[in-house]
Amino acid sequence: MTTATLLLLLLCYIVNVSCVSLPPKVFDVIAYGAVNDGTGDNVKAFSAAWKDACQYGGRGRVVIPRGVYALGSVIFTGYCKGTMSFIINGSLRAPTDRRFYDTDTWIGFRYVEYLTIKGGGYLDGQGHVAWRYNDCSTNSKCSRLPTSLRLDFVRNSQIHHLRSIDSKNAHFNIFACHNITISNVRLDAPAESPNTDGIHIGSSADIRILDSTIRTGDDCVSMVSGSRGVEIANVHCGPGHGISIGSLGRGHSEQPVTGITVRNTTFVATDNGVRIKTWAPSETTSASNIIFQDINMIAVANPILIDQVYCPSGNCLEAQSNVEIRDVLFKNIWGTSSSEVAVKLQCSRTRPCRDVKLVDIYLTYRGPRGKSRAVCVNALGSSSGTQIPSGCL
Ligand SMILES: *[C@@H]1O[C@H](CO)[C@@H](O)[C@H](O)[C@H]1NC(C)=O
Ligand SMILES: *[C@@H]1O[C@H](CO)[C@@H](O)[C@H](O)[C@H]1NC(C)=O
Ligand SMILES: *[C@@H]1O[C@H](CO)[C@@H](O)[C@H](O)[C@H]1NC(C)=O
């Protein structure tokens, strides 16, 4: 390399653009010794392919061709010299042995920028062998159980055309990430599988979840402390527990959750539709600037729910939540409720919800307990347009 090229590279590095146009280069895991017949363990081969692609400098494409790949727990780490693609055409299969149940990650990406994960392939978490060990509520020595895909400290990246089935724990976890688009993914686990959240987001900003189907045993999407600027659109959710903000307020120094939009989304036979959930008692934090709009509920148990008295132990009757909820719009939400309370806004006595708006709500209930009802406790705001059940704000 000449001094001039080196200087140019240094300049590119400083201003963070890739001005060197190296052509994209394929790093095929088969060439690194991966076997695609479902035997062995491909961690070494995948890691070696990732490492070379990461050092390459142009767009490094790690390619996983068709076939079944047994894969243990693995973390792909940056920062990389160029942009990265991780193309999964095959099916990756998680281990089933007990030793693996105590790791928290099956496949992780850390400290990566400009990463694209795609390819139409599968992450098969083999959760059916592990779900019965999800007993942390009764067993203090319980296994942690791995999340199938974790992004930690990843920026400006995308995941599209990917399927995840039978995760042992959550399908995807997004932590400390910025500007991530997840689209055209399909996440599947049985309705009765425990804690199989679809996409769990925390401490992250500018996250989009678009054009996807999530059928699972826990929340389709959950957003906790420090989730900012999350857009969810054109999603099918169900079975599952719905799309949740929370639980909030359990930990110390939680960051606010703000700027969340869920629109054009269908919920089918879920426990909840759109929900904000906070602990009582709780630490102080807030959830604000939230829009739930253009949403179809089909046989959903709690279509619209703010629950500020979340207390699984059941012995906190008088405790109040210190999580402040404000600026929440529920607009154009229609369909059927499978319980008679279709709208429930149960806010904190010490910090009532403020500026909650219900606009054009049409949620019916057909059943022995009569018509659908709305229940509001400590909720301040307004309702306008159609209101079935009749508004309680
Ligand atoms: C991977 O699949 C995509 C579409 O699903 C296809 O365009 C591409 O050629 C495939 N690549 C390999 C290496 O099989
Ligand atoms: C967000 O990430 C995408 C790549 O996924 C990139 O093209 C875009 O420029 C990024 N946006 C910002 C504001 O950096
Ligand atoms: C709403 O979402 C469905 C898929 O869930 C999609 O087909 C449709 O185009 C979306 N409509 C708008 C207006 O985005």
Which residue, judged by its Cα, is nearest atom 9 of ligand 2? 156
β-bridge mates for residue 305, sequence order: 275, 344
Q: What is the pLDDT of residues 181-214, one digit of tens each?
A: 999 999 999 999 999 999 999 999 999 999 999 9
At 3, is the pLDDT very low, low, confident or very high (cuts 50, 70, 90)? Answer: low
Q: Pick the atom of ligand 2 nearest to 158's CA.
A: 5
Q: Is the pLDDT of residue 9 over 70?
A: no
Q: Where in the chain is CATH 2.160.20.10?
A: 18-133+143-197, 219-393
pLDDT of residue 143: 85
Residues 219-393: name the CATH superfamily.
Single-stranded right-handed beta-helix, Pectin lyase-like (2.160.20.10)
Cut 0.85: pTM above it: yes
CB burial readout 346-380, b (16+ within 10 A) else e: bbbeebbbeebbbbbbbbebeeeeeebbbebbbbe
Q: Ligand 1 pocket check: which of 87, 89, 117 to mutate, most ligand atoms within 8 Å of Cβ?
A: 89
pLDDT of residue 316: 76
- 228 CA to centre of ligand 2 in angstroms: 16
Q: Is the CB of 120 under 6 A from ligand 1?
A: yes
pLDDT of residue 242: 98
Which residue, judged by its Cα, is nearest atom 4 of ligand 2? 156
Does 2.160.20.10 match the CATH number of domain 18-133+143-197? yes
Hey, which residues are catalytic here? 241
At 318, is the pLDDT very low, low, confident or very high (cuts 50, 70, 90)? Answer: confident
Q: What is the pLDDT of residues 47-102, one digit of tens each?
A: 999 999 999 999 999 999 999 999 999 999 999 999 999 999 999 999 999 999 99
Looking at residues 106-135, what average pLDDT do you find? 96
Looking at residues 286-309, what average pLDDT do you find? 97
Q: Is the CB of 234 under 6 A from ligand 3?
A: yes
Q: Is the pLDDT of residue 286 over 60?
A: yes
Long-range contacts at 37-43 (CB < 8 A, ≥ 24 apart): 37/67, 37/68, 38/68, 38/69, 38/70, 38/93, 39/70, 40/70, 41/70, 41/71, 41/72, 41/95, 42/69, 42/70, 42/71, 43/71, 43/72, 43/73, 43/74
